[in-house]
Amino acid sequence: MAVHVIQGIPVSTGVALGRAYFLNRGRARNIPRQNIPDRDVEDELLRMDQAFSQALAELEDIQGRVPAELLEHARIIDSHIMMLKDPKLLESAKTCIRNMQLNAEWALEKAVADIETVFRSIEDAYIRERIQDVRLVAGRVQQYLLGESGNSLRSINTRIILLAHDLSPADTVELEVGKIMAFATVTGGKTSHTGILARAMQIPAIVGAADLEESIQDGQLIIIDGLQGRIIVEPDEEELASFTDLKYQFEEYQAGINRSSHLPAETIDGYRVKVFANIELLEEVSSVLGNGGEGVGLYRTEYSYLNRLKLPDEEQLLEEYQDLASIMFPGKVVLRTLDVGADKFMNHFGGLDEANPALGLRAVRFCLHHMDLFRVQLRAILRASVHENISLMFPMVSGLGELRQVKSVFNSVRMELKKEGLKYNPEMPVGIMIELPSAMITADILATEVDFFSIGTNDLIQYSLGIDRTNSFVSYLYQPLHPALVRMIKYVVDAGHRAGIEVSICGEMAADPYCIPVLMGMHVDCLSMNPQAVPVIKHIIRQATMEECKALLKDVLASKTVGRNNKLVKDSIFRRHPSELMFYSSLLDEGY
């Protein structure tokens, strides 16, 4: 009998063998739809109020009992608590009860569906995936409306592989770390909390495994292959033998690169590269330090603005930025100003009908349109800069005119703080992200106005090649080593160096082992990536020579096709690391 294999998205590397344990909360339910008579409307409204109150009390109780190993992740629960306290979801559901005379369970489902419709129009993948948080909060409320008890993680008394429709931060902080061997969920993407937490716990995790609930029963023996995103159900002797061999190889490999992860990222012939990490939560700092990250090359400040009843004030932002700088000191911290659009702030600024938000009022454009919001963030960043390891970065700058507009506001805020007698670092480095073709073409001009460049390869690839990588019809065109992209990146690096400023690479390319030799050949100064990629990237760098990297870059620049470039880099990596290829994840495919 053939072994059943479920394919998902690997978000935390490793392999595990164990018994499946399904967490009921958040799984798909058969929600009853009932029309209620007028006399029962008030009773349904009361049921809804009580369910929200019970769910809130449960979350607050969980927050107070977080195990020491996950204490720093307790803040993630705040957003779920804020959602339950926010009257919008509750009132939307109650409106359905009043106006449509629906039962509480169905009214809540409709309210969530309405919110989901709004979220689906959001271009940013990280923000779009936050609909999972809304569903999880609603699922917790539904548990009380339906009278479900659910499987409690606190009742687990043996080591298991945890399976769920989705896994909330509140669920994960209830667990005893030593009892969970791996995670797998039906929903979620690469930026979901499940992946963040699994990587912090250093256990394998797979998300987006669509057939999970239909194909696996509680207690079945399964293998989680976090290297290839595979879930193997009831493995046979051959699969078990393969698992044992793979687990041994991976652990040996992981131990080796972890031993050297805190050493400098320096090539055999002495070329040094800084290796930083990209994060959006303070809770991820331990992962940066634990994996050998030398600093934070990108702190996505927008997370602090999401799922709040009201926008954060200057003091709240200041405290967050100071905490980050203090923990990372003397490591560098680059704070990126808000990189979101009006579609994320509808509750605060009203609706804005944009046909294409990704090319609309977002990032610095949005900030310049909402000056009060922008100035508050700049004040907080400047005041936090007294730690002297903070740098400021503006995203999505299209050209010199826009850059000077932003700098004018920045200088105005500096003068304002000076008049108020508030301290800040007048020498704080200020840089920009190069992620638009217009910024790339004018990099030589922009380089004279800033202290550093950070090339945002994810957006630069999409905007330059005219594709949405989340669109399955054109995602095959998302090619980091497209000849045009390689030339663009080299042009920006050269322009920055001619002006005497540092240039970093920030994006998935920086975490791709196959792209590293090409970027090294360009003499990039810094690579910034997700924290878990740091050890392997440092390992690649430490095994390379600049002579080899420059020779490879020369060949790639002479190539005319993506397919040729991909083959060149894969052959190069194979010659240096033939036994490690199975452990590398890459953006590259065969190309064209």
Domain ranges for the chain, please list them.
4-22+180-252, 261-583
121 near 343, Cβ under 8 Å? Answer: yes
Q: Say which residue, 60 or 376, is predicted with more confidence.
A: 376
Q: Which amino acid is residue 342, in one-letter code?
A: A
> How is domain 261-583 classified at the architecture level of CATH?
Alpha-Beta Barrel (3.20)
Contacts of residue 362, defined as CB under 8 A and 6 or more positions apart, other chains included, come to 339, 340, 341, 342, 396
Would the pLDDT of 102 be above 50? yes
- Entry pTM: 0.71
**Active-site annotation holds for 526:** no
Helices H / strands E in the chain, number of each: 24, 17
417 near 379, Cβ under 8 Å? Answer: yes
146 near 47, Cβ under 8 Å? Answer: no
- Token output for 291: 């994996």
How far is 230 from 492, CA to CA, in rounded Å? 39
Q: What is the mean pLDDT of the chain?
A: 85
- Token output for 372: 């009060």
How far is 443 from 176, CA to CA, in rounded Å? 50
- Residues 382-403, mean pLDDT to the nearest whole number: 96
- Token output for 302: 């927008």
Q: Say which residue, 23 or 2, is predicted with more confidence.
A: 23
Residue among 525, 582, 486 at smallest CA distance from 246 = 582
What integer pLDDT is reported at residue 66 of this predicted model? 61
How far is 510 from 520, CA to CA, in rounded Å? 10
Would the pLDDT of 63 be above 80? no
Confidence tier at 175 by pLDDT (50, 70, 90): low
452 near 409, Cβ under 8 Å? Answer: no
Confidence tier at 371 by pLDDT (50, 70, 90): very high
**Active-site annotation holds for 370:** no
Would the pLDDT of 33 be above 60? yes
* Residue 80, helix vs strand vs coil: helix
What integer pLDDT is reported at residue 512 of this predicted model? 87
Q: Say which residue, 334 or 310, is predicted with more confidence.
A: 334
User: Rg of the chain's alpha carbons, rounded to an integer?
Assistant: 25
549 near 493, Cβ under 8 Å? Answer: no
- State the CATH class of domain 4-22+180-252: alpha beta
Would the pLDDT of 534 be above 60? yes
How far is 185 from 136, CA to CA, in rounded Å? 13
Alpha helices in 297-428 (DSSP H): 314-328, 346-349, 363-369, 371-384, 400-420
Selected catalytic residue, list 506, 515, 526, 549: 506
Would the pLDDT of 81 be above 90? no
Would the pLDDT of 475 be above 70? no
Would the pLDDT of 185 be above 60? yes
- Residues 206-214, mean pLDDT to the nearest whole number: 88
Q: Which amino acid is residue 299, in one-letter code?
A: Y
Q: Which residues pair with 231 in a beta bridge?
A: 6, 224
How far is 8 from 189, CA to CA, in rounded Å? 10
Residue among 76, 4, 583 at smallest CA distance from 236 = 4
% of the chain with per-residue pLDDT over 70: 83
Residue keyed to tokens 């609309």: 360
DSSP label at residue 367:
H
296 near 332, Cβ under 8 Å? Answer: yes
- CA end-to-end span of the chain: 38
Selected catalytic residue, list 73, 80, 193, 539: 193
What integer pLDDT is reported at residue 304 of this predicted model? 83
Q: Say which residue, 518 or 341, is predicted with more confidence.
A: 518
Q: Say which residue, 342 or 534, is predicted with more confidence.
A: 534
Q: Which residues pair with 296 in a beta bridge?
A: 277, 333
Per-residue b or e along 65-84, where b marks 16 or more CB atoms closer than 10 Å to that residue's CB: ebeeebebbbebbebbbebb
Q: Which amino acid is residue 81, in one-letter code?
A: I
- Residues 423-434, mean pLDDT to the nearest whole number: 97
* Residue 391, helix vs strand vs coil: strand
Helix axes 457-465, 483-498, angle to 10 degrees: 130
Would the pLDDT of 274 be above 80? yes
